Structure 1
């Protein structure tokens, strides 16, 4: 499979380069950019010196479709909504890492993202795929909407209990924390060293654009209430930790809840459930496609605590996109992703 990457100079694009360069079935043939055409990627990322001979090319959908079988769109939101339909109409398969096709309600997208939505037919055409939940929908498709980073960690953490109708409606609260790479490379006051270092910031209180995505998926699984979802920026480069709380009405023990998660994820190649009393850290999944989950239950309050961690650039973006590409193409979904986290 000949693949191309739009947005190769972004952090997510750089991780796609690292993964796809070693993939046994995908070959990177083209890298595309909206601002640095003619230059080599090593000019932007010196750590890639000598690794990619092809220069960055301008975005030309017809030409891109002739050169490649599959395009990864690692672009900011608002770009894919226009570019993806052109590529698809030219005969190229697309995996979109932006948020432009995740939310199926155009009005909700425009409310939360503050951008014009793609045409409704393309919103419906895109297959939203969190592989652990949606892999059966993906094989043979041509257009995948890759989930967001916060939604990936959150949904995987909550899905087993939501599916079993164990969580009381209206009780779910999600406390989410991310490293600064989730903000991308654009300079901002909030991410300069003197503001970020030795500091902890809450941001987009009750306004984060991933809220409707999480609610859309949880709703499809059976949890119909709005969620409380708050995000925080922590002084580290990469990683997400979501700590989730919910009230359980049914008589249940902590061990039974843990066994439920073992049942749901025991055969999943990229979800690891920790033993009771052990909770994961972000460093333990760094640079990998793993989502690690820990669970605790307080019988005094009937409240469950779930901790879910991922690398926001990997399972939250690039490696999950490759996992989806593998499934789309009928390959083993672990292909090219069977590497351990980096540590320390």
Structure 2
């Protein structure tokens, strides 16, 4: 019997992506959808590409009966999930796609998000949702905090290298290109077609990007000492995808081996042959991550590149992967869709 699922915040990009993926998932059934400003509307009115599906009408959160729900995806804006999840039944499993429970230290949350955490006790029980590195903890969790999409991409490229001790921890530069859907669906002047198309620009440079909090937390934990990378994201005029280019000091062959060894048995992580580099067009619409390594012209330096779809493996696909583990379902179920090409 399929597990019954609620999606809170279903009118955003990640909510729609959850519905798209669950539609072909044999073990999950969408039982409730919420969207505060669009309550009372059919999902097909909000997203015509989902018109072929029989889905519940959008409701306000307080109208949902959670008594028959097995798991809830919370795809609400940052800083709103805390209060909502605190009011949900304690026996309900929750996967949160926002930033609200990613940082374990309440002081770190306040530093990066500018306000005190409103559900500190819940924050203590949340498991960080980078599936391939927290699989056992996720299986036993009630509340899983999905990673940031940029944070996931960077970690897939860098984390195994820290674990293997094959790079200089004080010389890690991450240059990242992100598709515009990562900025959400809200109307913003800088995301208008005329403002964005035909160009690109960096943002949150110089240590201002909030996902640095995740990098600091996770890399320092793995290394057993503080690790602070340089990170500059760029907003690109394409819809889906993230391409992370990482510059490190280390031997390219050893770096490639560390990645290949770490991901050898991972169904969604694919390390390309040495010298080949990934592209966002090869992973669009999928839960796959492609990684590649090349040596630099300067001896002892290397370039690592990772590509994933920010809405799938970077968010909603990762959330379903975690939900599968939490519900005792096969981890890959509903997620082996091939990328969309061209």
**TM-score tier (shorter):** over 0.9
Deviation string, structure 1 residues 268-326 (Cα, Å, up to 9, x no partner): 10000011111000010000001100012237342221100000000000010000011
Distance (Å, rounded) in 1 between the aligned partners of 2:257 and 2:234? 31
Once the 2 structures are TM-superposed, how far is the Cα of residue 134 of structure 1 from its aligned partner? 0.7
Moved more, 315-324 or 48-57: 48-57
**Contact 2:162–2:169 at 8 Å: present in 1 too?**
no
Task: State whether structure 2 residue 276 is matched by structure 1 residue 275.
Answer: no
Give the structure 1 partner of residue 329 of structure 2. 331
Give the structure 2 partner of residue 69 of structure 1. 70
**Contact 1:106–1:118 at 8 Å: present in 2 too?**
no
**Contact 1:68–1:92 at 8 Å: present in 2 too?**
yes
- Name which of 292, 295, 306 aligns with 1:294: 292
The alignment partner of 2:88 has SS state of helix
Alignment RMSD, CA only? 1.5
Distance (Å, rounded) in 2 between the aligned partners of 1:284 and 1:115? 39
Distance (Å, rounded) in 2 between the aligned partners of 1:107 and 1:190? 31
Aligned pairs for 1:156-167 (under 5 A) are 156-167=156-167
- Name which of 202, 223, 226 aligns with 1:224: 226
Deviation string, structure 1 residues 60-105 (Cα, Å, up to 9, x no partner): 28x442131110001110111111121143x211000000000111
Q: Which runs of 5+ in 2 are unaligned?
A: none
Give the structure 1 partner of residue 282 of structure 2. 284
Task: State whether structure 2 residue 201 is matched by structure 1 residue 198.
Answer: no
Provide TM-score, normalisation by structure 1. Answer: 0.95
Residue 295 and residue 84 in structure 1: after superposition, are their counterparts in 2 closer, same or farther (change >3 A)? same
Give the structure 1 partner of residue 168 of structure 2. 168
Once the 2 structures are TM-superposed, how far is the Cα of residue 231 of structure 1 from its aligned partner? 0.7
Give the structure 2 partner of residue 44 of structure 1. 46
Provide TM-score, normalisation by structure 2. Answer: 0.95
Task: State whether structure 2 residue 221 is matched by structure 1 residue 239.
Answer: no
Give the structure 1 partner of residue 215 of structure 2. 214
Aligned residues: 338
**Contact 1:88–1:94 at 8 Å: present in 2 too?**
no
Aligned pairs for 1:120-159 (under 5 A) are 120-159=120-159
Q: Which runs of 5+ in 1 are unaligned?
A: none
- Name which of 58, 61, 80 aligns with 1:56: 58
